[in-house]
Amino acid sequence: AKSAGGNRFELADPVQDARAITRHGLTTALPAALARGEFFIEYQPLVNLGDGSVRGAEALVRWLHPQHGILGPDRFIELAEHTGLIVPLGRWVLEQSVWQARQWQERHADAGPLRINVNLSPCQLTHPGLVSDTVEILERVGLAPHSLCLEVTESALIGADDDLLKPLRRLAEMGVDIALDDFGTGYSNLANLRRLPVSVLKLDRSFTQGMQQFPADPVDLKIVEGIVALAHNLDLAVTVEGVETGAQAEQLRELGCDTAQGWYYARPGPPDRLHQLALADATG
């Protein structure tokens, strides 16, 4: 409902306005939602393609909205970026995720240290507190830096100057892994990769989608094969996302990809799910 002129109860076209009202409503509700604890995190396993073991998980944030139910990040991350709330929200996600990884490691001393991947928005990259907040959280929680991987999208780093790369370089020197997320969707100069402090390429889902049909598109296969060869030559590990079938997983393993993520293994879920999956493959 929109108030127009003197008539406060005049109704606007509900279909036309629903989206705008929701966007505006969601934007103004964000800060209180963070304060009230309406956000939560789901974890999606990252699986070693070589032996099928669970190596860790990616943290994916959700909003349990009191009226709209569970909202995915596509509904609110961009809004949080516009208002700057992404900085405290991102810090909260980082702290929760680091704490969760520490919990997993304590419960699985022998399963090999489970690692945690956390998405970083471009706004967090330019925020001066990024390095000090990250160091502070890792130290306070007691998680080793090499158990953390920060995912930055390829598009956030396109044309990045040294000022933008400096905090990532500092984190990489401390042992934090940096992954180039959604790789292959931007237009990065492949030679430029050497300049970036990244240790993981995360191949975008669009590549795995090309392998959905059988037989897979031979051009897609060639492209992935080329990217894997380039990445390994540069000492980068390759993670593939959006793996939905066993046939895709097998093909990606044959192409030399290192790590996989997708519905074939597990949907994003609560932290105990990951614990159970990791435990299952450590014992059987």
Contact residues for Ca ion, defined by CB under 5 A:
119, 151, 181-182
Rounded to whole angstroms, how far apart are CA atoms 63 and 79? 13
Task: Give the pair of three-digit tokens for residue 66.
Answer: 């009191």
Rounded to whole angstroms, how far apart are CA atoms 149 and 54? 15
Residue 259 binding target from Ca ion, ligand C2E, none, CB below 5 to 8 Å by type: none
By CB under 6 A, the residues from 98 to 127 that bind ligand C2E are 119, 121
Nearer to ligand C2E among residue 29 and residue 57 (C-beta): 57
Q: Does 150 bind ligand C2E (CB under 6 A)?
A: no
What is the closest distance, in whole angstroms, from the C-beta atom of residue 124 to ligand C2E in the complex? 7
Q: Using alpha carbons, list the distances in angstroms from residue 277 to 47, 54, 267.
A: 10, 7, 12
Nearer to ligand C2E among residue 72 and residue 84 (C-beta): 72
What is the closest distance, in whole angstroms, from the C-beta atom of residue 109 to Ca ion in the complex? 28
Which amino acid is it at 212? Answer: Q
Residue 280 binding target from Ca ion, ligand C2E, none, CB below 5 to 8 Å by type: none
Of 26, 29, 44, 156, the one binding ligand C2E by CB under 6 A:
44
Most distant pair of Cα atoms in the chain: their distance: 71
Q: How many CB atoms lie within 10 A of CB 163?
A: 8
Task: Give the pair of three-digit tokens for residue 63.
Answer: 């909003």
By CB under 6 A, the residues from 246 to 275 that bind ligand C2E are 261-263, 268
Nearer to Ca ion among residue 29 and residue 97 (C-beta): 97
Name all contacts of 213-221 with Cβ < 8 Å and 24+ positions apart.
214/247, 216/251, 221/251, 221/255
Residue 121 binding target from Ca ion, ligand C2E, none, CB below 5 to 8 Å by type: ligand C2E
Are β-strands 237-240 and 177-183 bridged in parallel, bridged antiparallel, or unpaired?
Answer: unpaired
What is the closest distance, in whole angstroms, from the C-beta atom of residue 12 to ligand C2E in the complex? 30
Task: Give the pair of three-digit tokens for residue 225.
Answer: 């094969």
**Residue carrying structure tokens 């949080």:** 80
Nearer to ligand C2E among residue 197 and residue 262 (C-beta): 262
Q: Kindly tell me the burial class for residue 62, based on how many C-beta atoms sit within 10 Å of its own C-beta (0-12, 13-18, 19 or more).
A: middle
What is the closest distance, in whole angstroms, from the C-beta atom of residue 33 to ligand C2E in the complex? 14
Of 49, 242, 252, 274, the one binding ligand C2E by CB under 6 A:
242
Give the x-and-dash track for 176-205 against ligand C2E (CB under 6 A).
-----xx-----------------------
Nearer to Ca ion among residue 206 and residue 213 (C-beta): 206
Which amino acid is it at 158? Answer: I
58 SS3 class: strand
- CB 98 within 8 Å of CB 138: yes
Q: How many residues bind ligand C2E (CB under 6 A)?
A: 21
What is the closest distance, in whole angstroms, from the C-beta atom of residue 245 to ligand C2E in the complex? 9
Chain residues that interact with ligand C2E, rule: CB under 6 A: 44, 60-61, 72-74, 77, 90, 93, 119, 121, 181-182, 241-244, 261-263, 268
